[in-house]
Amino acid sequence: MRLPYKDPETISSPEDTAIVDRVRARRTPRPLQPLDLTLLHSPAVADGWNSFLGAIRTKTTLADDTREIAICRVAVVNEAWYEWMHHAPLAKAGGVSEEGMKLLGEKELDGKKEGGLSEKQWAVVRFTDSMTRSVKVDDAVFAELKKHFSEKEVVEITATVAAYNCVSRFLVALDVGEKNSVKGPGH
C-alpha cells in the first residue's frame, strides 16, 4: 500500500462520520475493506464512490454472471488482482462455469470464441475487453452485445465496465490490498 489505511475512528466531524456510517451500511455484514479505508482519506470522494459503486453493484437489472464477467475481465486486463480476488468467487456463484472462469482469467484470449462461456457471455467479454483496452468499441462488437441485451442492459454493462476500470486503476495505482506483486490467474 502506498498510503496508510485511514482509521475510521479518527474521523470526527458529524458530516464525515455520517459518510463512514453510509459506507459501513453498504458493506454490512462485512467490515470496511482496504479500498474503503483508502478512500476515507477523502470522505467526500468515499461518499460519492460508495453511492455510485453501490448502484452499479446492487441496483442494476444485470444477471450476476453478466455483471461479474465484466468486472473480472476488467480486473484481468488491468492486472488488478485485489479486484479479481473479490469478484471471481462472485462470478462462480453467479453461474460462470469452471472452464469459463479459466478463460476469464487469461489476459489474452487471442480471438477465442468458444468453450466455457455462452454466446451471450462471450459478447460481454469481447465488449469489456474492447472498452478496457481501447475505449472505443468496434461496431461489430457493439452489435454482438446489442443482439443479447436490451438498451437498458447495454447502458448498465457499459457503466459497470467504466466503473470497474476506475476501481482497478485506483487499486493498482495505490496498491490497495497489496496485490500488485501477485500474479493472477493464468499467469
The per-residue pLDDT for range 76-115, each reduced to its tens digit, is 999 999 999 999 999 999 999 999 999 999 999 877 777 8
pLDDT value at 187 more than 60: no
Which residues span the domain enclosing 77?
A: 64-178
User: How many structural domains are present in the chain?
Assistant: 2
First to last CA, the chain: 22
Nearest to 165 by CA among 60, 82, 77, 92: 77
The per-residue pLDDT for range 129-150, each reduced to its tens digit, is 999 999 999 999 999 999 999 9
pLDDT value at 183 more than 70: no
pLDDT value at 181 more than 80: no
Cell numbers for 14: 458529524
- Of 75 and 180, the one with more pLDDT: 75
Whether omega for the bond prior to residue 14 falls within 30 degrees of 0, making it cis, is no
Same-domain check for residues 100 and 69: yes
Computed over its alpha carbons, how large is the radius of gyration of the chain? 17
| pLDDT-derived band at 186, boundaries 50, 70, 90 | low
Q: Residue range 157-179: average pLDDT?
A: 94
Cell numbers for 24: 459501513
Same-domain check for residues 48 and 139: no
pTM here is: 0.93
CA 76 to each of CA 4, 20, 52, 55, 125: distance values in angstroms, whole numbers, following the listed order:
25, 30, 22, 23, 11
Same-domain check for residues 43 and 26: yes
Same-domain check for residues 106 and 16: no
Same-domain check for residues 39 and 116: no
Cell numbers for 147: 443482439
List the alpha helices (DSSP H) in 59-150.
64-77, 81-93, 98-104, 119-134, 139-148
What share of the chain has pLDDT > 90, as a percent? Answer: 89
Looking at residue 109, what is its pLDDT? 87
CA 102 to each of CA 53, 87, 147, 154, 186: distance values in angstroms, whole numbers, following the listed order:
26, 14, 25, 25, 7
